[in-house]
Amino acid sequence: MRPSIQTILRAALLGVATGVVLGLHSDPDLWGHLRGGFDFLDTFTVPSTDTYSFTATAGQSWINHEWLFDVIVALIYRTVGPVGFSIAAGLLALASIAVARYAARGAGVDGWRLDALTAAVFLLGIAPLLQTFRAQEISALLFLTLLASIRAFDAGKRASVWVLPPLFLLWANLHGGWVLGGTILAVWATTRFAASPRDPARQLLIGVCAVAAVSTFVNPDGTHLWRFLLETVRLARSDIREWQSVVTSVPMLAAWCATTAVLAAGAWRAPRGARVYLVLAAFTAVSSFRVMRLLPFHAMTVFVLVAPWLLSSGSAEPRANPRPSFARRDWVVATVVWAIVVGGSVGSSGRIGCLQPGGAFSLDGRAGHFLRDNHAEGRLLVYFDWGEYVLWHLGPRLKVSIDGRRETVYSAQTIAQHQTFYKAQPGARAYLEELDPDLVWLPRKVAVSKLIGDWGWQPIFESRESIIWARDASARQWQPAQQPEPSRCFPGP
């Protein structure tokens, strides 16, 4: 008996998922998460003020809304090492796929349709978040759990909503994505209240949603977390690629169009009582069009809430005939296909468990080695992407001017002034004088790097990628860089 095409496709999909996870890249924020997590493990307190920057807003509390994720990162690194991030990402991906399949089965999707839906959820909803190890991957799992709970409640499984209070309790301490999830929950619950005023489950839903909302106040910052997010969350961060519109990226625009086409097709088959799903999907469609970072959540919403109308076999009841067993030959073929796909996807990179900078992010490890070997200290005007690298390797004795913590530490004016400085726009030199740093470390590619030497600063380190300047190079004896090219694997030198 020949193995089924379905077996081969499932193995290939699992191979692609494994290859994506093993090919994780490092991210500018990962060093900062590691530093924050180790600081917590050393003191068992969440710092309320920043000690790593010299431009932090005076008197402003540091609200680290991802503090629990920082702890998870530190524990993984301390117990397993960098390869642990790939393992954790793989477990999160498998859990997310399992939740999506559970929700689809409850909607009557089975067989090859279930596999097609699983592939769509993974490729468009989960895989884009697996490029690096970030809190967004946990948000994906929690978001899918929220959608599955909504579907189960509407299918008559009232107890499913009891997962929401602990879910939002964790979410509020892990990642700001709970704001999107809370919006989805609020729209759905409000519609349910209005559409079913005599539904006996109405009071249950009101009570659970109220408890879920209150649970978000259980965090180190209490009600201040809500105020902070209301003041800072917005659909506009022009200086960050992933916060731009999907029209700025052809692949992202194509993915958005494909996902929204499924939404449009599903609208024709929408049951009258479940049209709120169309409202939810329309909301994520508009949000993700403006901010490509939200596109995976749009895909999850469409493929979990809307797509089952197109793929359902017509009944959510289990089939009378038992599912055929997985023959030994199927296992062998699946294993071979999986190994081939994994080998092809990972073999080209030549690395497993080595998280290297990826995409537009690059880091000059030799320059970092130079600063570390010379025990650099003081005030460092640094490139935005490299700030959290300095936090981990050189902080707090070397304080940075900016880093990826953005609004949690810095004012909008400080962030904008750094962008103006990098581009050598009018006022760049005046801003440099205003900051009065001890050292400046920038990539060669930024425009202002061509001017700093003319402003009286002296280079103390130069490489193909970056330059480090000091105002007075003779003020101390700087040892030349003697190290060979350091490892590009996270966490670096």
C-alpha–C-alpha distance, residues 211 and 214, integer Å: 5
Judge if pTM exceeds 0.85: yes
Q: Is 465 exposed, middle or buried (0-12, 13-18, 19+ CB in 10 A)?
A: middle
Residue with tokens 């965090």: 219
Q: What angle do CA 70, 373, 399 make, to 5 degrees?
A: 50
Dihedral sign, CA of 75, 77, 81, 84? positive
SS3 400: strand
Buried b (16+ CB within 10 A) or exposed e, 84-99: bbbebbbebbbebbeb
- Give the pLDDT score at 319: 44
Residue 382's DSSP bridge partners are 441
Question: Token digits for 411?
Answer: 């004012």
Q: Report pLDDT for 320.
A: 41
Question: Measured between alpha carbons, how far is 289 from 257 in angstroms, rounded to an integer?
Answer: 9
Please classify residue 438 by burial: count the beta carbons closer than 10 Å to its beta carbon, then call 0-12 exposed, 13-18 middle and 19+ buried: middle
Q: Which helix (H) or strand (E) element contains residue 399? A: strand 398-400
The amino acid that residue 293 corresponds to is: R
pLDDT given for residue 239 in this prediction:
61
The per-residue pLDDT for 234 is 58
Asked whether the beta carbons of 220 and 61 are under 8 A apart, the reply is no
Question: Which token pair is 301?
Answer: 């919403």
Tokens found for residue 333: 């073929």
Contact 19, 343 (CB under 8 A): no
- CA distances to 185, 400, 431, 433, 434 from 456, in Å: 57, 21, 15, 11, 15
- Read off the tokens for 68: 């629990």
Ordered per-residue pLDDT tens for the chain, 493 residues: 455 777 777 787 778 777 777 778 888 899 999 999 999 999 999 988 899 999 987 656 788 999 999 999 999 999 999 889 988 998 898 899 999 999 999 998 988 888 889 989 999 999 888 888 999 999 999 999 999 999 999 988 999 999 999 999 999 999 999 999 999 999 999 887 776 666 777 788 889 999 999 999 999 999 888 888 877 665 556 566 777 889 988 999 999 999 999 999 988 888 877 788 999 999 999 999 999 999 999 999 999 999 998 887 554 444 444 444 555 667 777 788 778 877 776 655 556 667 888 766 788 889 999 999 999 999 999 999 999 999 999 999 999 999 999 888 898 899 999 999 999 999 999 999 999 999 999 999 999 999 999 999 999 999 999 999 998 887 788 988 766 666 778 888 7
The pLDDT, as a whole number, for residue 252 is: 92
Bridge partner list, 27: none
- Calculate ∠ Cα 355-97-303, nearest 5°: 115
3-class DSSP assignment, residue 159: helix
Q: Which residue has the tokens 């901010």?
A: 291
Q: What is the DSSP string of 332-388?
A: HHHHHHHHHHHHHHHHTTT-SS--EE-TT----HHHHHHHHHTT--EEEEE-GGGHH
* Cα gap 280→344, rounded to integer Å: 38
Residue 294 contacts residue 139 (beta carbons within 8 Å): no
Distance CA 193, CA 188 (A): 9
One-letter amino acid at 281 equals: A
Identity (one letter) of the amino acid at 73?
V
Phi and psi of 260, rounded to 5°? -70, -30
